[in-house]
């Protein structure tokens, strides 16, 4: 941690002395806001969180496609199916996550760097948020940020047990997770109609986003 950042955090702590409840003023205000959240949430999440997540992804405004498989070992087959359905070459950039690198990618040419004109890449999200249909990526050596933004086609695996129903649930969990340099919440494919009302895919990120849900929250 840089000395400047340490000084800033120290100043925040000094301005937030603990109370008898164990929370300083900032923590108390955050708790009060969280307590009010349930009363103001829209009716977007009901039933199993994985079903709600997939339903949200089918919203035309998100523009993602989905598939569900039983285990992470089934993920390469889902990638092969997607490449074939899209008429793409059997070649992908693989996010350098140990679990992805250990999978059987036979029949697919793989590399572990990301190019500015990358045709297709595969990744593993930290989790997902059912309320918004968002994928959560924390930057790390195993999850370089550019993998979520440079490929034209991005095929992402996310485990059902790493889904949060609401954005507030993710915010609460964030306090217990290793702190990354940056966080990216990716909601759907990238597109713009700024120029003459014509849809252009891939303006600020992947033009096509395919999410492969691994497992089920109903698994026993």
Quote the pLDDT of residue 196.
Answer: 66
Q: How far is CA 89 from CA 50, 55, 112, 163, in A?
A: 31, 29, 16, 31
- Produce one character per residue of 4-33: b if its CB has 16 or more CB atoms within 10 Å, e if not: eeeeeeeeeeeeeeeeeeeebeeeeebeee
Provide the terminal-to-terminal Cα distance of the chain, rounded to the nearest Å: 42
136-147 per-position pLDDT tens digit: 999 999 999 999
For residue 220, what pLDDT is reported? 37
- pLDDT for 154 equals 97
How many C-beta neighbours within 10 Å does residue 182 have?
A: 8
Name the residue ranges covered by the structural domains of the chain. Answer: 1-40, 45-214
Query: 16, 27 in Cβ contact below 8 A?
Result: yes
Q: Is residue 183 a contact partner of residue 138, using CB atoms and an 8 Å limit?
A: yes
β-bridge partners, 137? 184
Q: Which helix (H) or strand (E) holds 186?
A: strand 183-186
Tell me the Cα Rg of the chain.
20
Structure tokens at 114: 């990301």
What pLDDT is stored for residue 219 in this prediction? 44
The pLDDT value given to residue 26: 64
Residue count of the chain: 220
For residue 32, the model assigns a pLDDT of 66
H helix or E strand, kind and range, residue 4: helix 3-14
Comparing CA positions, the residue from 153, 132, 128 lying closest to residue 207 is 153
Domain 45-214 adopts which CATH fold?
Rossmann fold (3.40.50)
Positions in the chain short of pLDDT 50: 20, 219-220
């Amino acid at each position: 941690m840089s000395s400047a950042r340490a000084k800033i955090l120290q100043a925040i702590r000094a301005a937030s002395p603990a109370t008898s409840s164990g929370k300083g003023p900032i923590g108390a205000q955050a708790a009060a806001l969280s307590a009010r959240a349930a009363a103001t949430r829209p009716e977007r999440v009901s039933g199993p969180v994985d079903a709600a997540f997939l339903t949200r992804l089918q919203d035309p405004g998100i523009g993602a496609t989905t598939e569900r498989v039983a285990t992470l070992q089934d993920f390469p087959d889902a990638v092969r199916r997607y490449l074939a359905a899209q008429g793409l070459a059997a070649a992908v950039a693989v996010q350098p996550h140990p679990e992805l690198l250990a999978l059987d990618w036979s029949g697919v040419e793989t590399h572990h760097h990301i190019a500015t004109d990358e045709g297709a890449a595969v990744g593993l999200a930290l989790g997902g948020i059912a309320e918004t249909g968002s994928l959560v990526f924390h930057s790390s050596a195993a999850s370089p940020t550019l993998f979520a933004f440079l490929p034209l086609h991005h095929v992402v695996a996310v485990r059902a047990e790493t889904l949060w129903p609401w954005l507030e649930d993710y915010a609460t969990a964030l306090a217990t997770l290793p702190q990354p340099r940056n966080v990216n919440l990716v909601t759907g494919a990238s597109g713009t109609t700024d120029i003459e009302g014509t849809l252009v895919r891939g303006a600020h990120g992947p033009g096509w986003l395919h999410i492969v849900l691994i497992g089920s929250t109903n698994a026993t």
